[in-house]
A and B are shown apart, each in its own frame.
Chain A
């Protein structure tokens, strides 16, 4: 298979020792198996997320995102920009949409970008890693690399908000997107299709500013996974992952519950299914260890198919 190349936008949380650094570790391992070449956009900057609105004007937020586009166009011409973080993808894609639909904003953005010696032409496409997997590979191609099916492990597929709304993955519904469950099935795991908190909001940035209100959301998300008999939750979003994992102890204190549910990324599951080690899958980056996945990763398999 020929190498697929993308202009990679990893985002702030993926950096070394940041909150989603293990997500990046697993994405790199997964891409190695798939023969995908991710080249970081040189000197990329923050997408400003959805929460910057009180501090940053519309134009300054657009300019921040357009800087990444311009850097990608200049340094990695012809390559699609691929983000792994839901907020990066949404922030970038929303910015691109606004710029492509308004000559005034486009002109103003380029006037500002010129101060950094850059220019945005509007050619680079913005995509999520999940889109790359589903659209550029497809489930069958993804399944062909499986050497360790995730037999007998039950996953609550938690899609969350920003990988799902307002853009979502092509052909999926907002209320019940199926791609995460299908990915789990593809690599031999058991997707709990009746998990009803699939697209519930974890509170997002308000987990910081309104912890009580957000933790009520998170409690529902985790308890429903227990109700369905899940071994772990799996998600495509680094903020969902962090919020749903790290506040469980706080929730236990607040509500007297005993939550200790591991929360993993799709890319970790795929890395293990593709024969990667626990370290290559970033499984050492969890507060609640995904034990069944760790055991499987540590097990030897017969020669590759």
Chain B
């Protein structure tokens, strides 16, 4: 168990709902769910969720901490916002799913090798590195995430897509060396360091 996981599990004991309300982005909305199931029925990848949103909400209230945080369900969210616009109680379900996933990751409880978790981390790292996304490096990082051989295989299987984009002038092999960077990368890193400091300060305040 990670330190934070041990601390928070002890702190909230049997009140997982309270933990979600205080620690998960938009988690304070969970208690508003009335179990109608419209979110679950509206999700484009609904059948891929072991526990669709409505079920996750009930599991949170039932204190199923391990089952919820170790689940790969919320990592199936495509951010389509169908659930949000259809929810009769206007819960920000998309954001709660992202919040749960991020919290599980922070506690070290997210499933290992979860592809969307990995992509999310790669994307964030890529976009803050120079302030703008480098699409070529993003793709390469994703393909080689499972190792060198897997990366070569994946790259080879996608070669036709790459050639198509290259011919359409929508992929630039030179982005490997020179990307579209922000000028004030230093300022961006400074403000993000400050944001992390504020996050920490807030966390210590609630702890």
Contacts and interface: CB of A to CB of B under 8 A. Distances in A.
Interface string A44-58: 111011111111111
Interface residues of A, number: 66
B198 A111 contact: yes
**In terms of DSSP, what is the predominant structure of the interface of chain B?**
helix
Which among B44, B48, B86, B187 has the highest number of chain A CB atoms within 10 Å?
A: B44
Nearest to B161: A246
Which residue of B84, B195, B198 has the most chain A CB atoms within 10 A of its CB atom?
B195
Contacts, number: 211
Contacts of A48: 124, 127-128
B37 interface: no
A203 B80 CA distance: 8
Closest 9 CB pairs of A and B: A55-B124, A116-B187, A50-B79, A17-B172, A165-B81, A201-B80, A54-B120, A209-B115, A53-B98
Interface of A: 12-13, 15-22, 43-46, 48-60, 63-64, 67, 108-109, 111-118, 161-162, 165-166, 174, 200-201, 203-206, 208-210, 213-214, 217, 242, 246-247, 249-250, 284-287
Interface of B: 25, 44-45, 48, 76, 78-82, 84-86, 94, 98-99, 101-102, 105, 110, 115-121, 123-125, 127-128, 131-133, 135, 139, 142, 158, 160-161, 164-165, 167-172, 175, 180, 182-184, 187-188, 190-196, 198-199, 202
Given A19-B171, A108-B195, 5 more contacts: A19-B135, A57-B199, A112-B191, A206-B116, A210-B76
14 contacts: A17-B171, A21-B169, A22-B168, A52-B123, A54-B124, A60-B128, A67-B188, A111-B198, A112-B194, A113-B191, A116-B190, A165-B84, A203-B78, A246-B161
